[in-house]
């Protein structure tokens, strides 16, 4: 293919793009990747990684308080925002450097500039170069969208900026009821900020199991977060002293130093030249792909958030890997998008895999529901008012485990292991046969005997 400069041009060095580039290069392909921001993408730079580090930081206050019940005497605890922010920023820089090294070590040519599609086999770089590629992979991810637009919305910040706040505000408004909004609400409330969540829906976390949604809502309220549900923010205004004021369609206006707008994300396809090249886009600008991540143009594929399938890092990575193996490794395979476990790193956190009770009923399953709620052992002595909730959604006819939902400490860690069993087709009898590990919270998953009545 002498008339192509590279075998693969990857646009976007995030989770999906870097994996695809490295694997393709490992299969012997000549690969170039372009990144307009920092190598590593959303997850590493302004998503999962810095967020989880903030979550850890936010949970120390509970640990200090709990320690007293176990006999510890600690000095006065003080938190310094700048120390945390800068330490997290350094870790992000370290990781971004590792991502670059990984690419270069695999023989991938890295260009740190914006790239757009100029034709089925052509990519144009912001610096003016044009590269002819046998294959193009679009892995441009998504961006925070103020959706619907709020007049005065520019007075708010998105999740991109929240990692760089110059100081910790006294009060924060979080607009949105999805996982990103709630994770930040939980983090900042635990760091001592007075947090109010403004959400237009009548409950948080649309799409999650109803029992989990309601219990998390109550737990967040118990943790001191004010939840104003059914509140559509109509406009934001700036007051004299730099304070922002949010006006809801109903109820009193509410003031804060920082307003975080986390109302959703959109695929990053604006100005990318895709439609002009013949690639079909969906209603929110997502690249339409088939099971092989192929677009309507045979030489252009797309993976990750830009396709708006399941917007999670491990999914983007898997899609990038499958594309590279299939196209350059002679090993075609596709990603199974069913039974992807996910977590919400609020405190308490959620771990979930499979169908919610409502989704399972809507799909026509006759169900047996097992649930338990209990106080974890640690809370008996710490005195913390804390509970763990678990729910098993079981198909009554086949006994198959359709969904597992956990709210409480370490739910994310637990659900990853449970997902293996569920994706192997485990039945309730398989869970019952498994001997409990005592004393643990997770043992409750294998000791629920009686289905919920009704
Ligand atoms: P990205 O990682 O977004 O990478 C796309 C890259 O393309 C970006 O670096 C961008 O700068 C670059 N780019 C875009 N356009 C161009 C262009 N024209 N030219 C050159 N470069 C371009 N997922 C989880 O699994 N767990 C979590 O806990 C989690 N937490 C999250 C928390 C937050 C606050 C956010 C915002 C997201 C979180 N996610 C989480 C989602 C996760 O970050 C994404 O699913 C994942 O990063 C998607 O990978 P990607 O490769 O599709 O895109």
Same domain, 407 and 392: yes
Same domain, 193 and 271: no
Look-up: residue for tokens 């052992």? Answer: 377
243 neighbors 251 (Cβ within 8 angstroms): no
88 is written with which tokens?
């997290």
Q: Is residue 92 part of a domain?
A: yes
For ligand 1, atom 43, name the residue with the nearest CA: 43
104 is written with which tokens?
């270069």
Confidence of residue 325 (pLDDT cuts 50, 70, 90): very high
Same domain, 22 and 132: yes
Q: Is residue 442 part of a domain?
A: yes
Look-up: residue for tokens 């809370």? Answer: 379
Summarize the confidence of residues 306-316 as an average pLDDT.
98
Is pLDDT at 305 greater than 60 in this prediction? yes
With the most atoms of ligand 1 within 8 angstroms of its CB, the residue from 42, 262, 343 to mutate is 42
With the most atoms of ligand 1 within 8 angstroms of its CB, the residue from 96, 109, 141 to mutate is 141
Same domain, 284 and 139: yes
Q: Is residue 286 part of a domain?
A: yes
44 lines ligand 1 (CB under 6 A): no
Sequence-distant contacts of 369-376: CB under 8 A, at least 24 apart:
369/393, 369/394, 369/451, 369/452, 370/394, 370/428, 370/448, 370/449, 370/450, 370/451, 370/452, 371/211, 371/448, 371/452, 372/444, 372/448, 374/441, 374/444, 376/408, 376/409, 376/441
What pTM was estimated for this model as a whole? 0.97
Same domain, 137 and 285: yes
Structural domain including 102 reads 6-144+266-328
Confidence of residue 146 (pLDDT cuts 50, 70, 90): confident
112 lines ligand 1 (CB under 6 A): no
Same domain, 57 and 206: no
Is pLDDT at 2 greater than 90 in this prediction? no
| DSSP track, 71-119 | T---------HHHHHHHHHHHHHHHHHHHHHHHHHTT-EEE-S-EEEEE
Q: Is residue 453 part of a domain?
A: no
CA dihedral 237, 239, 245, 247 (to 10 degrees): -50
CATH of the domain at 76: 3.50.50.60
What is the CA(8)–ligand 1 centre distance, in A? 20
Q: Is residue 454 part of a domain?
A: no
What is the CA(43)–ligand 1 centre distance, in A? 5
139 lines ligand 1 (CB under 6 A): yes
Q: Is residue 1 part of a domain?
A: no
For ligand 1, atom 4, name the residue with the nearest CA: 14
Q: Which tens digits make up the pLDDT trace of 147-206? A: 788 999 999 999 999 999 999 999 999 999 999 999 999 999 999 999 999 999 999 999
Summarize the confidence of residues 380-394 as an average pLDDT.
95
The strand pair at 171-175 and 194-199 is best described as parallel
Q: Is residue 333 part of a domain?
A: no
Domain boundary among 218, 235, 263: 263
Q: Is residue 336 part of a domain?
A: no
Same domain, 189 and 291: no
Cα 451 to its chain centre, rounded Å, is 32
Question: What are residue 123's phi and psi, to 5 degrees?
Answer: -125, 135
Cα 143 to its chain centre, rounded Å, is 13
Same domain, 63 and 119: yes
At residue 1, the pLDDT reads 46
At residue 148, the pLDDT reads 80
What is the CA(268)–ligand 1 centre distance, in A? 10
Same domain, 255 and 313: no
Give me the number of domains the chain comprises: 3
Same domain, 128 and 21: yes
180 lines ligand 1 (CB under 6 A): yes
247 catalytic, yes or no? no
What's the rounded Cα separation, in Å, for the pair 124 and 126?
A: 7
For ligand 1, atom 36, name the residue with the nearest CA: 47
What is the CA(305)–ligand 1 centre distance, in A? 7
For ligand 1, atom 45, name the residue with the nearest CA: 312
95 lines ligand 1 (CB under 6 A): no
List 199, 298, 337, 438, catalytic entry: 438
Average pLDDT, rounded, for the chain: 97
Ramachandran sector of residue 12 (left: φ over 0; alpha: ψ -120 to 50; beta: rest) = left
Q: Which tens digits make up the pLDDT trace of 32-62? A: 999 999 999 999 999 999 999 999 999 999 9
Same domain, 305 and 396: no
351 is written with which tokens?
């771990």
Summarize the confidence of residues 266-272 as an average pLDDT.
98
Same domain, 122 and 190: no
């Amino acid at each position: 293919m002498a008339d192509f400069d590279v075998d693969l041009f990857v646009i976007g060095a995030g989770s999906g793009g870097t994996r695809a580039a490295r694997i393709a290069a490992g299969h012997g392909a000549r690969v170039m990747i372009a990144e307009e921001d920092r190598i590593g993408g959303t997850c590493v730079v302004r998503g999962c990684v810095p967020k989880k580090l903030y979550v850890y930081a936010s949970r120390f206050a509970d640990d200090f308080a709990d320690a007293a019940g176990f006999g510890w005497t600690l000095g006065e605890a003080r938190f310094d925002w700048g120390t945390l922010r800068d330490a997290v920023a350094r870790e992000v820089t370290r990781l971004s450097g590792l991502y670059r090294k990984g690419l270069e070590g695999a023989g991938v040519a890295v260009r740190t500039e914006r790239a757009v599609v100029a034709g089925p086999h052509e990519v144009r770089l912001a610096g003016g170069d044009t590269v002819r590629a046998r294959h193009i992979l679009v892995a441009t991810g998504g961006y925070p969208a103020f959706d619907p637009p709020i007049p005065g919305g520019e007075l708010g910040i998105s999740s991109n900026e929240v990692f760089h706040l110059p100081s910790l505000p006294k009060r924060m408004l979080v607009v949105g009821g999805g996982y990103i909004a709630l994770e930040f609400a939980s983090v900042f409330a635990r760091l001592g900020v007075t947090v109010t969540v403004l959400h237009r829906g009548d409950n948080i976390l649309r799409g999650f199991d109803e029992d989990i949604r309601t219990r998390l809502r109550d737990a967040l309220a118990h943790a001191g977060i004010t939840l104003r549900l059914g509140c559509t923010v109509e406009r934001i205004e700036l007051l004299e002293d730099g304070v922002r004021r949010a006006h809801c369609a109903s109820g009193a206006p509410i003031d804060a130093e920082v307003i975080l707008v986390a109302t959703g994300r959109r695929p990053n396809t604006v100005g990318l030249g895709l439609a002009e090249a013949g690639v079909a886009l969906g209603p929110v600008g997502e690249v339409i792909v088939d099971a092989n991540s192929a677009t309507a143009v045979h030489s252009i594929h797309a993976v990750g958030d830009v396709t708006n399938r399941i917007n999670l890092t491990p999914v983007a990575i898997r899609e990038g890997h499958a594309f590279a193996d299939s196209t350059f490794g002679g090993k075609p395979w596709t990603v199974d998008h069913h039974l992807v476990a996910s977590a919400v790193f609020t405190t308490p956190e959620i771990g979930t895999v499979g169908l919610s009770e409502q989704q399972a009923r809507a799909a026509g399953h006759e169900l047996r529901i097992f649930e338990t709620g209990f106080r974890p052992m640690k809370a008996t002595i710490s005195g913390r008012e804390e509970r763990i909730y678990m729910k098993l959604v079981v198909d009554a006819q086949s006994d198959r485990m359709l969904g597992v939902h956990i709210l409480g400490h370490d739910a994310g860690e637990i659900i990853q292991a449970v997902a293996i069993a569920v994706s192997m087709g485990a039945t309730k009898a398989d869970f019952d046969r498994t001997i409990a590990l005592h004393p643990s919270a997770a043992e409750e998953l294998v000791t629920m005997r009686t289905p919920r009545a009704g």
